[in-house]
Amino acid sequence: MKTFQLKQKDIHQKWYLLDAKGEILGKLATQAAKLLRGKHKAEFTTHLDCGDGVVVINARDIIVTGRKLKQKTYTSYSGYPGGLKVKKLEVLMKQNPAKVIEHAIRGMLPHNKLGRKMVKKLRVYAGEHHQQMAQEPKVFQMKSAG
């Protein structure tokens, strides 16, 4: 019996819609990363992009636990002296809540060419309206821990 090897031509990608309203940031990010990576499929192959597209709506209504709003920081460094920028989660949620979710999901994907290809299939919107109606995303039910 031969081992099944998935080919690029055999990959069929769908789009899923995740509603972030009332969801915890980390749990939402793990579900989205799993869908983008393709680990929910039986024919998952590590070296191919066999994952699906993900649309996240209501990013501004995400929940974080504990004191993360006041304590969690996001840093970026330009490479120049004095070029370190630090923002707290609370400030970033007011300015651009989609960026918080994108950052969390990007950190859960592979840090190579394949991961950069996967993150291109991620769309995050702060409100309820999105522009991916042509892809006909299916609503994905989050599994609650309980």
Domain spans of the chain, in order of start: 14-63+95-139
CA 134 to chain centre: 20
The pTM score is: 0.91
Residues 50-57 have a mean pLDDT of: 96
Give the span between the Cα atoms of 75 and 68, in whole angstroms. Answer: 15
pLDDT band at residue 135 using 50, 70 and 90 as cut-offs: very high
pLDDT for residue 142:
81
* Kind plus residue range of the DSSP H or E element containing 56: strand 53-57
pLDDT of 141 > 80? The answer is yes
Residues 96-101 have a mean pLDDT of: 96
Residues 28-51 have a mean pLDDT of: 95
Instruction: Please give the CATH topology (third level) of the domain spanning 14-63+95-139.
Output: Ribosomal Protein L13p; Chain: A; (3.90.1180)
pLDDT of 146 > 50? The answer is no
